[in-house]
Amino acid sequence: MQPSGHRLRDVEHHPLLAENDNYDSSSSSSSETNMADRVWFIRDGCGMVCAVMTWLLVVYADFVVTFVMLLPSKNFWYSVVNGVLFNCLAVLALSSHLRTMLTDPGAVPKGNATKEYLESLQLKPGEVIYKCPKCCCFKPERAHHCSICKRCIRKMDHHCPWVNNCVGEKNQRFFVLFTMYIALSSVHALILYGLQFISCVRGQWTECSDFSPPITVILLIFLCLEGLLFFTFTAVMFGTQIHSICKDETEIERLKSEKPTWERRLRWEGMKSVFGGPPSLLWMNPFVGFRFRRLQLRPRRGGPEFSV
């Protein structure tokens, strides 16, 4: 593959590993084989704090919606329908968040820049291949090195601290679902907030909630602010991600104005490649492809990630 001019500036051109370099190709291939059986997790302090904050904010919204607005309501079916709907959206949002955070985004195996691996690629004469000097691996086309994950990530879009992971080739669909479900739950919470506020203004504040009026007002105001901020952020991110998928262009490629050297998959073809298969309700399901794995703590050297 002939890289573009922008790609030449992306990485330094280093000579390939010599025969006496200390990289074992067998260990690299075995780690690549076992990658699918491991749960990916980035040990980044800022990312872990942001991920915990995301969960706490969703739990707070669920608490206010359920215990402040729905349970005190005298309309039984109003409480049941809205309670089930909001909690389903919250579960789907948090499940999508977990899948985004714990899924390998498409990391290139470390230390695969060996003479044996180069020979196995069977490159044509004149083909150019580059080695990432930071994680010592052959860098595939459209891959970029993440300074937080300490890995080269295939089709890396960006690193998001709120999911404590890169958004890349293998977990972009879960990130899109996460932003979509958070935006939907925020809209639902704002609608319930408006109805609750009207109900309290028309009636008695002491009767519209089991909490005291000052506590109720404070909880509702915080919920309103959270809903507005969450909806604005996730709606913009959702639209940006859908636009990138339909154009088959990552955010990094767009910012660097990289000219495509690959065959683009536009619109529905791009959506199919990210979500898998033709359009169906399975696109909305964050549990597709999920399977339980044995929890075996295996700290990995040379990077901030570990696998279980």
Active site residues: 160
Q: How far is Cα of residue 221 from the mean position of the Cα atoms in its chain?
A: 29
| DSSP category for residue 107 | B
Question: Token pair for residue 275?
Answer: 């979500």
Q: Which of 226, 207, 181, 191 has its CA nearest to residue 90?
A: 181
Residues 15, 3: Cα–Cα separation, whole Å = 17
| Helix runs in the chain, H state only | 5-10, 25-33, 45-63, 76-102, 115-120, 172-202, 213-247, 251-255, 268-275
Question: Token pair for residue 103?
Answer: 């899924």
Q: How far is Cα of residue 73 from the mean position of the Cα atoms in its chain?
A: 36
Residues 247, 241: Cα–Cα separation, whole Å = 10
Q: Which of 183, 31, 175 has its CA nearest to residue 110?
A: 31
